[in-house]
Amino acid sequence: MDHAVTLKPWGEERSLQWTRAIARDYSSADEQEDSEPYQHLEPRFKTSKMKPLDELEHNLNDLAKRHGIAAHAWKKEADSFFALARVQRQDGTIQPVAEAQGTTQKNEPRTLAVTDIPIQNINRIFGIKEDNNPEHPHWNLQPSQKREVPEYLDETLRDHELALGEAEWDQAFVRAKVDAIVLTTLASKKREEFNQFGQKASTETKSYRSIHVNMETGISLRWRVNGEERTIQGQIDYSVFYGKPKEAETNMIVIAKKVSMAQTGLYQAKIYMSMLQHARKRANRTPIDIYGAATDGETWYFLCLNTKNELTTKYYMWTEDGPGKVEIISHLHRILEHAATITPYQTSALMREPTLEEASGMKIDA
């Protein structure tokens, strides 16, 4: 009769590899003892046609009997495990034991996608106080703040339209247009800071050196929704960082959507901006205004969420001959100038301080 025995010396390192060996017939053990004196110490399992779970349970029971392990010490828990595993095997489900038994693991709230939050509940959930005045003075630009659209950017966008012809502008084409606008604007700010010889201009008072754009930044935050703690999560298309991404050192996010879907992006931007603002407050970071933009390439919604959780919005149209594109470029310049004046969070050299994730529960994958 075949038997299965597994012996592992106490103190054996876990990294040591224990491999499966051929089942040994103990009826001929005497004949094999000289040629393979330590073969009986290797793991052996029955080679029957039993189902995997049945085979595993049988071998565990057999092993316990051989080594005199008291049944009451483990059998009840093992029986519960195997019974549950068989149910899962029959109905095809694979889930943690705690969930299958109707419980949830501690400190692991259910996830909630940003896109699944009803738009009518956003302001209530995050405590946003929205000012719907389309002529809010926050969006007034002074003559000195107006910027023309660079000719090379105009040419690039015209080339996009020429190449696409009558093709429908899907989200990939929208992203290409937004890439050109956002990255060109940031590059122009960096060029303003340095002259053609690579020396910093003597009149420059702001620094754009640390400012950079991250794309597709994953973000999550634990937040109470309708009386239940949830983990809200999503992905920001563009984030303008003035410091460390993990510390939420950003003052602007951009959401790019398909044509005619810019307003959907507006609602998502509100959520991401609120998540960032609340996380910074929880972590006791310097209060700052956080900006957002939602666009389908033509319609541009600009948002500003101040330190009092007050939100204002303004929208413009990017058209070939209209004034909207100048306003759009000018506001992007203005927001980047704001980022250049913010000092990144400084940690103490004498003691370790909590990270933003530790202090706020926000995770940023950047």
Query: What is the rounded CA–CA span in Å between residue 45 and residue 314?
Result: 71
What average pLDDT does the chain have? 79
Average pLDDT over residues 255-274: 95
- If phi over 0 gives left and psi between -120 and 50 gives alpha, with beta otherwise, what is residue 173? alpha
Which residues face 221 on adjacent strands? Answer: 232, 362
Q: 110 forms bridges with which residues in the sheet? A: 230
pLDDT digits (tens, 9 = 90+) for 9-58: 444 444 444 344 334 443 444 444 343 333 333 334 444 444 666 777 77
pTM exceeds 0.75 for this model? no
> pLDDT by residue (tens digit) across 97-135?
344 333 445 668 999 999 999 999 999 999 999 998 888
Name every residue whose Cβ is closer than 8 Å to that of residue 31 and which is 6 or more positions away in sequence: none
Domain ranges (residues) in the chain: 2-100, 111-365
The span from the CA of 238 to the CA of 244, in Å, is 15
* Residue range 139-151, pLDDT digits in tens: 999 999 999 999 9
Ramachandran quadrant class, 248 (left: phi over 0; alpha: psi -120 to 50; beta: rest): left
